[in-house]
Amino acid sequence: MANPTHGGLDLWRSQSRALIPLDQNFRVPRSVRRSLGRGAFQLSLNRSFDAVLRGCAERPDTWISGELARIYRQLHRAGWAHSVEVWEGEELAAGLLAIGIGSCWIGESMMHHRDHAGNVMLVRLVEALRDSGYSLFDVQLSNQHLERFGCREIGDPAYTALLRQARSRPTTLRLGESTVRCEGWMRE
Does residue 142 belong to any structural domain of this protein? yes
At 77 the pLDDT is 95
Amino acid at 71: I
Q: How many domains does the chain have?
A: 1
Amino acid at 75: L
Using only C-alpha atoms, what is the Rg of the chain?
Answer: 16
Mode of pairing for the β-strands spanning 171-175 and 178-182? antiparallel
Angle at 90 (CA atoms; ends 31, 50), nearest 5 degrees: 95
Nearest by Cα to 128 from 88, 86, 93? 86
At 8 the pLDDT is 61
Q: Determine the Cα–Cα distance for residues 66 and 68; give it in Å rounded to an integer.
A: 5
Is the distance from CB of 108 to CB of 69 less than 8 angstroms?
A: no
At 38 the pLDDT is 73
Does residue 130 belong to any structural domain of this protein? yes
Q: Determine the Cα–Cα distance for residues 100 and 181; give it in Å rounded to an integer.
A: 8
Look up the CATH number of the domain holding residue 81: 3.40.630.70
User: pTM of the entire structure?
Assistant: 0.89
Q: If DSSP codes are grouped into helix, strand and coil, which group holds residue 71?
A: helix
Is the distance from CB of 167 to CB of 102 less than 8 angstroms?
A: yes
Does residue 11 belong to any structural domain of this protein? no
Return the number of other C-beta atoms located less than 10 Å from residue 188's C-beta: 4
Is the distance from CB of 170 to CB of 184 less than 8 angstroms?
A: yes
Does residue 126 belong to any structural domain of this protein? yes
Does residue 182 belong to any structural domain of this protein? no
What does each of the 188 residues of the chain score in pLDDT, given as a tens digit?
A: 555 555 665 555 667 899 999 999 999 988 888 777 777 899 999 999 999 999 999 877 777 888 888 999 999 999 999 999 999 999 999 999 999 999 999 999 999 999 889 999 999 999 999 999 999 999 988 999 999 999 999 999 999 999 999 998 999 999 888 888 888 775 55
Does residue 45 belong to any structural domain of this protein? yes
Does residue 187 belong to any structural domain of this protein? no
Find how far residue 76's CA is from the centre of its chain: 14
Sequence-separated (6 or more) residues with CB below 8 Å from residue 141: 14, 18
Does residue 107 belong to any structural domain of this protein? yes
Domain that holds residue 57: 16-177
Maximum separation of any 2 CA atoms in the chain, in Å: 47
Q: Determine the Cα–Cα distance for residues 188 and 185; give it in Å rounded to an integer.
A: 9
* CA distances to 29, 121, 174 from 37, in Å: 13, 13, 21
